[in-house]
């Protein structure tokens, strides 16, 4: 059995925030893989289903970010799970938008949700770090993470969430490499690889595709001579 935890803040006010990308990831997995309805449990919202051969519980704590550990601890205790059976999806300031990394253990890097989980359970759980970028100054971080994703972010965000869902069964099985490959197929599709893909079918002239050569400038040719008299005129001039 596996426990997938998405970090975020409860309520419609926060639903589109960058800080809630963990909730978004679990919502996509639940919808795509036919999980049961979300129900109140373990100080959060939970639902159950299967990913491949694994039974998986999805958990979205409703304790607010700073107290996420209370909800995660309640679920871990209820299901009697080891920490290596827990995976936490969370926003990551130190990764560029749309980038993803998988990590086990280590520090919380100031993330309040992770800090709370550390306090309740320790650090030996798995994490899926979801890049949201950094605002550039630490004083702007709180406002940045509690602000909705911009309209310009929607394409990469949708690709990332779809990729996470595609690879969810591999992640549940403990195959992080296969999981990351599934995400990569969504977020960084193969470009012109010579295999007849879309990029190969639509050559870009700016990238060196052949263009019809412009005709070279040529001097006008004299009319072809048609008689001995015309040839003599060509040698001695027209004479007029």
Residues with catalytic function: 19
DSSP string, 63-81: S-GGGHHHHHHHHHHHHT-
Cα distance between residue 35 and residue 48, in whole Å? 6
For the beta carbon of residue 149, count every other beta carbon within 10 angstroms: 17
Q: Are 25 and 128 in contact (CB under 8 A)?
A: yes
Cα distance between residue 165 and residue 52, in whole Å? 12
* Distances in whole angstroms, Cα of residue 25 to Cα of each of 32, 89, 200, 238: 11, 7, 32, 88
């Amino acid at each position: 059995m596996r426990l997938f935890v998405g970090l975020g803040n409860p309520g419609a006010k926060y639903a589109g925030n960058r800080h809630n990308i963990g909730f978004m990831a679990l919502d996509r997995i639940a919808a795509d893989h036919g999980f049961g309805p979300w129900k109140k449990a373990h100080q959060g919202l939970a639902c159950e289903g299967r990913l491949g051969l694994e039974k998986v519980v999805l958990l979205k704590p409703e304790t607010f970010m700073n107290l996420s550990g209370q909800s995660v601890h309640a679920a871990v205790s209820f299901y009697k799970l080891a920490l290596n059976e827990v995976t936490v999806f969370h926003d990551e300031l130190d990764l560029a938008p749309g980038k993803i990394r998988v990590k086990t253990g280590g520090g919380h890097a100031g993330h309040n949700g992770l800090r709370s989980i550390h306090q309740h359970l320790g650090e030996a759980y798995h994490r899926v770090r979801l890049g949201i970028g950094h605002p550039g100054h630490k004083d702007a971080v709180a406002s940045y993470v509690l602000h909705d994703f911009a309209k310009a972010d929607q394409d990469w965000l949708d690709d990332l969430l779809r990729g996470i869902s595609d690879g969810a069964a591999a992640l549940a099985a403990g195959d992080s490499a296969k999981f990351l490959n599934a995400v990569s197929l969504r977020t960084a599709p193969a470009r012109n690889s010579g295999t007849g893909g879309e990029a190969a079918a639509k050559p870009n002239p700016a990238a060196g595709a052949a263009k019809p050569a412009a005709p070279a400038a040529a001097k006008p040719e004299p009319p072809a001579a048609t008689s001995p008299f015309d040839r003599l005129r060509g040698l001695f001039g027209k004479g007029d």
